[in-house]
Chain A
């Protein structure tokens, strides 16, 4: 393999994981947008999504007695994981964060860390502390393009992620509810003076962000073949980094941040050392906070008086 091929290969690997980071990062950024809250439990929603997908697959095998394969099976598992994660996100908002809406901002932040521990431990108690094997829903296949190759799953991850992100982007950009979310991000009080129901819109932001994370969880499980109850911690922290890198609160920024972080990790792992893979992500976070705290796309429109 020439050096060029190595580069392309690592770029593709980085893009794949970057897509998953981007899916999770969206949840951080949407919720931050409407509530100025960093939902530190979001990584756990992602992890729970992976487990809900796993449970759906296991339930299918139990009921039908046949192995779960094919595109429709994958779509079904994804849908279940998204719905389950969305419900979980909605519940955490309703019962953990909403009662603290008027409290000082540190209170919901600490609560988020608490929710994160609760979710981790509930999953550990239900499913055990060891790695769970993820079912091979699609046959392991390899596609070669010249000297570069992609697995079946890499292609699926690209397709599913791009579709979901495009869908979300259009929703936020075009629909009435999407506009209401952006309005709330600008000025919550003014939004409620326009008749936008604040509680419902906040909840919807959690639902949508969590659904994205749930899909990300399934893709993550398929890609790495196993899941563990503490997978949400590192992935969540990296996705948070991605959201900050792109500009927290900025939706295209979260996608861009996720991809860039994935690529930085892929190239770092390929050229420097895969042992240090996780370090790159946090070097990126420190660098962003030092040199461009508003993120890549996070610009401010000057408010005129």
Chain B
């Protein structure tokens, strides 16, 4: 579904990603783990078109999407939940959901998907008319995910969905991610919480200093000594 080859990008003149090769096949969860500053978020920014690719290719469902504007990439079906949730704080919860569906023009389908979101995230229904900025951190993460799902993505990219959440909420978020996968969505998960991310991954990559250092199934990487010592702390 997603095929990245030799992707290089950076900020100003400083290269951050030095040629990334990465594949995501349909219906799978692919995790990308790595420490702070390894380039994980930059990688997602490049996929979404917010960071221009200097070199290399990003192919999504057979279409080259590097070089497309961010809104065109969303319309192609690649949608990102950015790090730090980035919900629209001054808008209501419902308006946030409506904006998730910005690229769509099927009001009945949008209404139906909203109902779906209320099933997946019941708290959102209770807070529908409230300002999104008044939600708790966990609720904001759920809203950010629901907002992205409202776009009916084919590939959902999640950037650090568990960051800053209480352990119980982290469990809940990962449960939801599995639930989303069960609906047939493909997921690219970027995480610092390497253990959880590898646990649910069908395939995983380890990013270090802007390069893919390792890859394998989630289980293989969980047992890999290098991963164990560097990312799992065991």
Seen from chain A, the residues whose Cβ lies within 8 Å of a Cβ on chain B are: 176, 179-180, 182-183, 185-187, 189-198, 301-305
Contacts and interface: CB of A to CB of B under 8 A. Distances in A.
Nearest to A184: B88
A198 B164 CA distance: 29
Interface in B66-108: 69-71, 74-75, 79-80, 82, 84, 86-91, 95, 98-100, 102-103
Give the size range of B's interface with the partner. 20 to 34
Nearest to A249: B90
Contacts of B100: 194
Contact of B90 (A186, A192, A198, A305): A186
A179 B50 contact: no
Q: Is the interface of A mostly helix, strand, loop or mixed?
A: helix
Contact of A193 (B74, B95, B98, B164): B74
Interface stretch (B112-120, B134-142, B181-189, B202-210): B134-142
B74 A182 contact: no
A196 B79 CA distance: 12
Contact of B98 (A179, A186, A301, A302): A179
Given A304-B133, A304-B135, A186 B91 contact: yes
Nearest to A187: B86
B101 to A, nearest CB: 9
B31 interface: no
B56 to A, nearest CB: 21
Nearest to B70: A192
Given A176-B98, A305-B164, A195 B133 contact: no
Nearest to B140: A304
B8 interface: no
Interface string B26-41: 0000000000000000
Given A186-B90, A189-B50, A194 B133 contact: no
Q: A176, A192, A194, A197 — which one has the most chain B CB atoms within 10 A of its CB?
A: A194
Nearest to A197: B71
B131 interface: yes
Given A190-B82, A190-B86, A193-B82, A183 B99 contact: yes
B147 interface: yes
Contacts of A194: 74, 79, 99-100, 102-103, 147-148, 151
B79 A193 contact: yes
Contacts of A303: 89, 133
Contacts of A189: 50, 82, 86
B48 interface: yes
A179 B82 contact: no
B136 A196 contact: no
A187 B133 contact: no
Interface centre among B98, B99, B137, B147 (most CB of A within 10 A): B99
B74 A195 contact: yes
A134 B91 CA distance: 43
A191 B90 CA distance: 13
A75 to B, nearest CB: 32
A32 B131 CA distance: 21
B99 to A, nearest CB: 5
Nearest to A178: B95
B111 to A, nearest CB: 14
B75 A195 contact: yes
A170 B4 CA distance: 44
B88 A186 contact: yes
Nearest to A185: B90
Most buried by A among B88, B89, B134, B137: B88
15 contacts: A182-B88, A182-B95, A186-B90, A187-B88, A189-B86, A192-B50, A193-B82, A194-B79, A194-B103, A194-B147, A194-B148, A195-B74, A196-B102, A301-B133, A304-B137
A189 B86 CA distance: 9
B71 A196 contact: yes
B98 to A, nearest CB: 6
Interface string B199-225: 000000000000000000000000000
Contacts of A304: 133, 135-137, 140
Contacts of A195: 70-71, 74-75, 79, 102-103, 151
- Please list the 3 inter-chain residue pairs (A to B) with the smallest Cβ-Cβ separation, ordered nearest first: A195-B74, A301-B133, A190-B86
A189 B89 CA distance: 14
